[in-house]
Chain A
Amino acid sequence: MEPTPERMMWMYENMLLIREYEETMAKVYLEGKLPPNIQKGLAFDIGSGPVPGEMHLAAGQEPVAVGVCAHLRKEDTVVGTHRPHHFAIAKGVPLDRMTAEIFGKSDGLSRGKGGHMHLFDPEHKFSCSGIVGASMPPACGAALAAKKLGKDWVAVAFFGEGAANQGTFHESLNLAGLWKLPVIFVCEDNKWAISVDKDHSTAVRSDADRAGAYGLPGISVGRNDALDVYSAAGEAVERARRGGGATLIEVKTDRYMGHFQGDAEVYRPKGEVGELRKNDPIPGLAGTLRARGLLDAAKDQALRARVHAQVTRAFEFARQSAYPQPREALEHVFA
C-alpha cells in the first residue's frame, strides 16, 4: 500500500516532531538532577527537577507510530505503552497539554495526576499505561464497543516485544480472534526489555508467528521504515474496518536511548546504538521523499523550523503553567 504524497509528508513531519520532542525532553529531564544541587554522593536524582520520575523516550521508534497512525481517524482508539510520546503525538494529542502533564502542571491533560506514563486524552481517543502488557485488553474493549455501536472504528494496541510474554498478550489475541474484533496489535520489537534482549526472553524469533496460534494473520516488518510499517498497517486497518477482524504486526525497530533516561546501559554492547543510528529512519524517509521530488533542502529546513517552534512552544507552555493546589490530590477518585 502506497501513501499519498500528503500522507508521506505527514509521516515525515511527525517523525521530525517526535524526534525533536524526545531529544528536547531528554535535555529538560536532566535539569536539576545532576550534582552539585542534589544529595551529596548521588550521581543523579530521579526525583528532582521540573520533570521527576522515570522517563522513557522513543527516539528511533518513530516509524511504528507514524506508519500506523497515518491510517487512523480521530474516532479510532490508540492505547500506548510506558514509552508513549511518539504514539500520542502521531494520534494528535495536543503537544502543549501533554507536555504540561509531564511537568505535573494544572494545564496538563489530567492536571498533573497522571504524568508521563499515564497520558489520557479521551477527545483524541488516546491512553497509555505504565504496566507492561496492559495495552491489549483495553484496545479489545474499544474494538468491541465499536462493533456494538455499529461503527467502523478500529483500535490499536501498541506494546513492546517484552510484553508479548505477558498473559494479557495471549488472552487478548485469543479474544480478538474469537470475537473478530477490529483491533490491530502492533509489537514494537526494539530487542531490549530493559536489559534483557529478545534472545534471552522469547522462545520464538518472530512475534508475528504467534498470531497463527489464535487464528490471526501475523505480519513481520523487518525494517525500521515508516513506509513498510504504513503498508503493513494499511492492510490491517482495512481488514479491521470491513469486519475482517484483528491482525498482529511486529515491527523490528530501534531504541536509541536507554530504557529510561539515566540508564547506564551496561548491558548493551558498546557501539550498538551508533550502528543502529546509521539506519536512522528519518534521513531514510527524507531520501525517498527527495527522490520523488517531494522534498528539497529549503522545504526540509522549513519543516524542521516548524517542529522546533512547536516543541519550544509546548515546553514553554508547560513551564509557564502553574502547579495544581495540593488539595486537588483528593479530587476525582470517582467521576
Chain B
Amino acid sequence: MTTARKLTMAQAIAEAIGQEMERDPKVFVMGEDIARYGGIFGATGGLLDRFGPERIMDTPISESAFIGTATGAAAEGMRPIVELMFADFFGVCMDQIYNHLAKNTYMSDANVRLPVVLMTAIGGGYGDAAQHSQCLYGLFAHVPGLKVVVPSNAYDAKGLMIQAIRDDNPVMYFFHKGIMGLPWMAYYEGSTTEVPQEAYTIPFGQARVAREGADVTIVALSQMVQKALVAAAELEKEGIRAEVVDLRTLVPLDTDAVLRSVTKTGRLLIADEDYLNFGVTGEIAAQVAERLDRMVLKSPVRRLGVPGVPIPYSRPLEQAVIPQVQDIADACRAMIGANLAKAA
C-alpha cells in the first residue's frame, strides 16, 4: 500500500538517496559539509547517522579531486553521488566534469560506465550576488555526455533522484535553493508535495503538464515552474488559460511534449532563470522553429531569462534581471494581444 506524506524537496532528495543506499551498498555520497551538516541545502540530512562516515563522506574543499574521485570510483563499479555546493563553483573543477566525467564513456566506446550523480544547488532571488546565484544547467546541457535533471517539486525530486542513481551514466542533478523548503529561505510552497514512502522512479525525458490550458504554453523548469503556476492562476482570473509544461530534464529533452502543447495553444513562452543568451530558451525556441511546417503559431515565440549580465547583488537590480511571476504574466498577456506578421 502506498503511503504519502508531505515532504519538502530537500527531504525528498535525502529520502531517495537513503533508500538507494539501503538497496545498493555501492552507493555512497561525497561532498563539502554533506555529513555532519547534512548538506548546506539539506539534501543529505540525516544520512550520516544512518550510514556512517564511510558512506557519507565530508571532503576537503577540493572539488577537482573529489569529483574526479567519483569518476574513478564509478569506473570501478561504485555508484557515487557527489555534491558541488553551488553550481557556480563548477569553475574550480570543470575539467573533471566536462573533459572526463562527460566524455570517458564516449571515448571508450561505452566500454567505461560512469554511474555518477553530481548534484548541485542553483538559483538566486535572495541576495547572494554573482558567484552564488546562477543556474548554469544550460551550460552543462550544452556539453555532450551529461544527463541533466532539474526538478521543480518534491514528488519529482524523489523519483528523478532514484532514477539518476540507477542510471549507468553521469547525471547532473540541479536543485533550486528557493524550492527546497529550507527553514531559512523563502520558497514557493507548491514545491512541497505529497511524496510516497516507497521508492519509485520517474523516467528521464518525460515532461509533465503541470497545468492544462488552451491559450498559451509556458515551458519552464525548476523554480520557474512554480512561478509559472502562480502566474497561470493570476491569468485565469482574466480569462487567459495558460498551460504550464515542466521539462523535468533537459538531457534528454522531451521535445514532443513541448510540440504537443504548442500545437494546441499556438503560443509559446519559455520562462527560465538561466542566462537568456545561447541557452535553454533558445534551444526550445529552435526546436519549435524547426517544426513550423507542422503547427501554426498565433504569436511570435517569447523568451524570459537573465539578460546577458551576471546576477547583481542589490535587491532591485536582482529582481529586475531574474524573471518574476509578473514578467511571466505580462509576457502571456502581450502574446495574447500580439499578431504574427502577415506573409507577403
Partner of A42, one of B60, B183, B312: B183
Q: Give residues of chain A (96-132) contacting chain B, Cβ–Cβ below 8 Å.
A: 101, 104-105, 108, 111-118, 129-132
Please determine whether B60 and A165 come into contact, CB atoms closer than 8 angstroms. Answer: yes
Q: Please, how many residues of chain B have a CB less than 8 angstroms from a CB on the other chain?
A: 42
Q: Give residues of chain A (143-178) contacting chain B, Cβ–Cβ below 8 Å.
A: 162-163, 165-168
B239 interface residue (CB < 8 Å to A): no
- CA separation between A51 and B314, bound complex, in Å? 9
- CA separation between A329 and B124, bound complex, in Å? 15
Partner of B317, one of A38, A113, A162, A196: A113
Please determine whether A47 and B60 come into contact, CB atoms closer than 8 angstroms. Answer: no
Stretch of B125-133, B167-175, B257-265, B335-343 contacting A (4+ beta carbons < 8 Å): B125-133
Q: Give chain A residues whose Cβ lies under 8 Å from the Cβ of B89.
A: 131
A45 interface residue (CB < 8 Å to B): yes
Q: Give residues of chain B (297-321) contacting chain A, Cβ–Cβ below 8 Å.
A: 307-310, 312-321
Partner of A43, one of B127, B183, B316, B317: B183
B106 interface residue (CB < 8 Å to A): no
| Mask: chain B, 189-225; 1 = CB below 8 Å from A; 0 = not | 0000000000000000000000000000000000000
- The residue in B89, B125, B313 that gathers the most chain A C-beta atoms within 10 A of its C-beta is B313
- CA separation between A130 and B130, bound complex, in Å? 9
| Mask: chain A, 159-202; 1 = CB below 8 Å from B; 0 = not | 00011011110000000000000000000000001111000111
Please determine whether A131 and B313 come into contact, CB atoms closer than 8 angstroms. Answer: no
- CA separation between A133 and B65, bound complex, in Å? 14
* Given A115-B314, A163-B61, A324-B317, residue A130 in contact with residue B36 (CB < 8 A): no
- CA separation between A58 and B68, bound complex, in Å? 33
- CA separation between A168 and B93, bound complex, in Å? 11
Q: Give chain B residues whose Cβ lies under 8 Å from the Cβ of A38.
A: 186
Please determine whether B33 and A47 come into contact, CB atoms closer than 8 angstroms. Answer: no
Partner of A201, one of B61, B183, B307, B315: B61
A330 interface residue (CB < 8 Å to B): yes
Question: Chain B interface secondary structure, helix, strand, loop or mixed?
Answer: loop
- CA separation between A131 and B183, bound complex, in Å? 25
A138 interface residue (CB < 8 Å to B): no
- CA separation between A117 and B311, bound complex, in Å? 13
Q: Give chain A residues whose Cβ lies under 8 Å from the Cβ of B187.
A: 39
A194 (CB) vs chain B CBs: closest residue = B33
- CA separation between A97 and B179, bound complex, in Å? 34
> Closest CB-CB distance, A156 to chain B, in whole Å?
21
A328 interface residue (CB < 8 Å to B): yes
Q: How many A-B residue pairs have CB under 8 A?
A: 154
Please determine whether B184 and A53 come into contact, CB atoms closer than 8 angstroms. Answer: no
A266 interface residue (CB < 8 Å to B): yes
| Mask: chain B, 111-148; 1 = CB below 8 Å from A; 0 = not | 00000000000000111111110000000000000000
Please determine whether B92 and A326 come into contact, CB atoms closer than 8 angstroms. Answer: no
Partner of A104, one of B91, B184, B314: B314
> Closest CB-CB distance, A36 to chain B, in whole Å?
14
* Given A105-B314, A165-B61, A202-B60, residue A46 in contact with residue B129 (CB < 8 A): no
A335 interface residue (CB < 8 Å to B): no
B36 (CB) vs chain A CBs: closest residue = A267
Please determine whether B185 and A46 come into contact, CB atoms closer than 8 angstroms. Answer: yes
A52 interface residue (CB < 8 Å to B): yes
Please determine whether B40 and A114 come into contact, CB atoms closer than 8 angstroms. Answer: no
A333 interface residue (CB < 8 Å to B): yes
B64 interface residue (CB < 8 Å to A): yes
Q: Give chain A residues whose Cβ lies under 8 Å from the Cβ of B316.
A: 104, 323-326
- The residue in B61, B88, B183, B314 that gathers the most chain A C-beta atoms within 10 A of its C-beta is B314
* Given A132-B61, A195-B36, residue A54 in contact with residue B314 (CB < 8 A): no
Please determine whether B312 and A45 come into contact, CB atoms closer than 8 angstroms. Answer: no
B243 interface residue (CB < 8 Å to A): no
Please determine whether B61 and A45 come into contact, CB atoms closer than 8 angstroms. Answer: no
10 A-B residue pairs with Cβ-Cβ distance under 8 Å, sorted by A, are A44-B183, A115-B128, A117-B132, A194-B33, A196-B60, A267-B37, A323-B314, A326-B320, A333-B309, A333-B310
Chain A residues with a Cβ under 8 A of chain B = 38-39, 41-48, 51-54, 101, 104-105, 108, 111-118, 129-133, 162-163, 165-168, 193-196, 200-202, 262, 266-267, 323-330, 333
* Besides A39-B187, A101-B313, A266-B36, 13 new A-B residue pairs in contact (Cβ under 8 A), listed by A number: A48-B186, A108-B314, A112-B313, A112-B314, A114-B313, A162-B61, A167-B92, A193-B32, A195-B33, A201-B59, A266-B37, A326-B316, A329-B321
5 A-B pairs with least C-beta separation? A52-B127, A112-B314, A115-B313, A47-B126, A104-B314
